[in-house]
Amino acid sequence: MNPILKSLLILFLVIFIPLNLAAGLIWLERRLLALWQDRYGPNRVGPFGVLQVLADMIKIFFKEDWIPPFADKAVFVIAPAIIMITVLMSFTVVPWAPGATVANMNIGLLFFLAMSSLGVYSIVLAGWASDSKYSLLGGLRASAQMLSYEVFMGLSLMGTVLLTGSFRLNNIVDAQRHMWFVIPQFLGFVLFLIAGVAETRRLPFDLPEAESELVAGFHSEYSGMKFGMFFVGEYLGVILISAMITVLFFGGWRGPWLPPIVWFALKTLCFICFFILLRAALPRPRFDQLMSWGWKVMLPLALINLLVTGAVALAART
């Protein structure tokens, strides 16, 4: 096939599939939450209620797109776009299957970390531009939380980078030919999982939203499709983090018998379900608890993990 055509096709699929998956995830999440709470969840619209998402989409498109008169209009409009852009950009480096990556960069992992850091701006700017107490508090919390969890998110991944010797995600997947990195890097995996939950602002780390304290946190003032973008952005983040866990710790597309993309999808789905289970089961910590865990427990653990991995790698080389 013409290489340009092929990359265009991959580009289209990488944008199209995650966006639709994110929408489908809303349905999946509602059904799974219901399952774990002994309810049914949406089961009326279409078979098993799958068309509920479509109905909600149509509804959200027809909602009034209200920009509060006191808001900083330009920033208010840009903020939800930033989160979509950064998350979708991160998807470009994810290796879905051998050869199916938009950008096979030699700094793929760094690019992912950089993009997820930029995502904070969306939240902070949304909280700032809304010019309301609740939004500002949500934005403040988001900036503090994401800053402190990013630190050890990056550090927790350095173990895998050390073992592979490359930031290229394809190389990391290749290095897991014999053993998934979850075994030598179990601590790194746990830390990355926790940081990932905090980065996507999912329960139990959804303090920037915290609907029982802050109305809806940073997106209190948003309505219509702008709110929808935050919503879809969050679910895209869940897919992204699940995909990254699969790539970095669970051997990516590798697996016997089934085609690579199916393995990738299956592993990612497992982590998505785990994200939803976290939401169904765990209460939200207090904000000071969240911060002190981040700095006093997680960061030292990540550093120790890095130190030990480095020492072992060095010892193995000599």
Q: How far is the CB of 315 from other proteins (least distance, A)?
A: 30
The yes or no reply on residue 175 touching other proteins (CB under 8 A) is: no
The yes or no reply on residue 64 touching other proteins (CB under 8 A) is: no
Q: For other proteins, how many residues bind (rule: CB under 8 A)?
A: 12
The yes or no reply on residue 289 touching other proteins (CB under 8 A) is: no
> Of the listed pieces 45-53, 163-171, 231-239, 280-288, which binds other proteins according to CB under 8 A?
280-288
Q: Binding residue for other proteins (CB under 8 A) from 9, 262, 277, 314?
A: 277
Q: Binding residue for other proteins (CB under 8 A) from 258, 281, 304, 314?
A: 281
Q: How far is the CB of 234 from other proteins (least distance, A)?
A: 21
Q: How far is the CB of 270 from other proteins (least distance, A)?
A: 13
Q: Nearer Cβ to other proteins, position 127 or 188? A: 188
Q: Nearer Cβ to other proteins, position 219 or 279? A: 279
| Region 24-53 residues binding other proteins, contact defined as CB under 8 A | 34-40
The yes or no reply on residue 304 touching other proteins (CB under 8 A) is: no
The yes or no reply on residue 183 touching other proteins (CB under 8 A) is: no
Q: How far is the CB of 22 from other proteins (least distance, A)?
A: 24
Q: Nearer Cβ to other proteins, position 35 or 266? A: 35
Q: How far is the CB of 21 from other proteins (least distance, A)?
A: 22
Q: Computed over its alpha carbons, how large is the radius of gyration of the chain?
A: 20
Task: Print the SS3 string covering the chain.
Answer: CCHHHHHHHHHHHHHHHHHHHHHHHHHHHHHHHHHHCCCCCCCCCCHHHCCHHHHHHHHHHCCCCCCCCCCCHHHHHHHHHHHHHHHHHHHCCCCCCCCCCCCCCCCHHHHHHHHHHHHHHHHHHHHHHHCCHHHHHHHHHHHHHHHHHHHHHHHHHHHHHHHHCCCCHHHHHHHCCCCCCCCCCHHHHHHHHHHHHHHCCCCCCCCCCCHHHHCCHHHCCCCHHHHHHHHHHHHHHHHHHHHHHHHHHCCCCCCCCCCHHHHHHHHHHHHHHHHHHHHHHCCCCCHHHHHHHHHHHHHHHHHHHHHHHHHHHHHHHC
Q: How far is the CB of 110 from other proteins (least distance, A)?
A: 31
Name the residues that contact other proteins, by CB under 8 A: 34-40, 277-278, 280-282
